[in-house]
């Protein structure tokens, strides 16, 4: 059993969003995906994250508001540029926003809460993939803007971890080059020294 799990994890890759088609996960499947997503390290059991579901007409409405925001920032948009923003959330049938929603804590730093949310996002991806769906996680320009976050339904203190686009996919996306693990691993050799940077 564990070998099959390892093989599954080693095969993970992002599907191009424009290739994600209907059907999206059913309500029951989505509930399972979200239950799996929340089984992550969470120091203090704070649940410092939440989900926003974008589907149906709400995806088009979000796109309309993002296109308007882009035009206010950039000036008149070309038809292609407007269409790009208009379809940001309607390319896939289902988009799940994974949102960092930090809680007050004297023990747990906010960066640790954000990392916990990153684990939620990856668990969500793995769960959707395990059910046979393709996924792609993005943030994009609007995640860094207060007005963009407001449009997307975030409270002022919240931040975007990622928007997971989900849909049916043949799972034939070519793999990309992966990091050389040997270049990323070292044995502990004492406190960091300046010469290590050269």
Residue 62 belongs to a domain: no
Residue 50 belongs to a domain: yes
- What is the DSSP pairing of strand 49-55 with strand 94-100? antiparallel
Looking at residue 197, its pLDDT comes to 64
Residue 17 belongs to a domain: no
CATH code at 144? 3.40.109.10
Looking at residue 172, its pLDDT comes to 85
Residue 122 belongs to a domain: yes
Residue 148 belongs to a domain: yes
Looking at residue 180, its pLDDT comes to 96
Total number of domains constituting the chain: 1
Residue 153 belongs to a domain: yes
> Of 168, 14, 27, 156, which is closest to residue 99 (Cα–Cα)?
156
Residue 70 belongs to a domain: no
CB 55 within 8 A of CB 94: yes
What range does the domain containing 116 cover? Answer: 25-56+93-170
**CA 46, 142, 68, 63 torsion: positive or negative?**
negative
**Splitting the chain (198 residues) into consecutive groups of 10 residues, what average pLDDT does each group show?**
83 95 97 98 96 97 97 95 96 97 96 98 98 97 97 98 97 90 94 75
Looking at residue 194, its pLDDT comes to 75
d(CA 115, CA 45): 14
Enter the pTM of the model. 0.93
Looking at residue 192, its pLDDT comes to 87
Residue 47 belongs to a domain: yes
């Amino acid at each position: 059993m564990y070998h099959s799990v390892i093989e599954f994890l080693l095969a993970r890759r992002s599907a191009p969003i424009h290739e994600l088609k209907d059907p999206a996960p059913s309500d029951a499947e989505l509930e399972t995906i979200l239950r799996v997503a929340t089984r992550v390290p969470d120091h203090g059991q704070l649940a410092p994250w939440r989900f926003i579901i974008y589907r149906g007409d709400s995806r088009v409405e979000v796109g309309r508001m993002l296109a308007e925001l882009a035009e206010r920032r950039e000036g008149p948009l070309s038809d292609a540029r407007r269409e790009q923003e208009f379809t940001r959330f309607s390319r896939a049938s289902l988009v799940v926003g994974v949102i960092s929603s930090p809680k007050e804590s004297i023990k747990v730093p906010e960066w640790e809460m954000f990392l916990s949310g990153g684990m939620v996002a990856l668990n969500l991806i793995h769960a959707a993939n395990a059910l046979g769906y393709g996924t792609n996680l993005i943030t994009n320009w609007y995640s860094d803007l207060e007005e963009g976050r407001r449009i997307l339904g975030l409270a002022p203190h919240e931040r975007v971890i990622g928007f997971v686009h989900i849909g049916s996919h043949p799972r034939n996306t070519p793999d990309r080059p992966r990091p050389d693990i040997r270049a990323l691993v070292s044995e502990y050799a004492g406190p960091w020294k300046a010469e290590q940077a050269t």
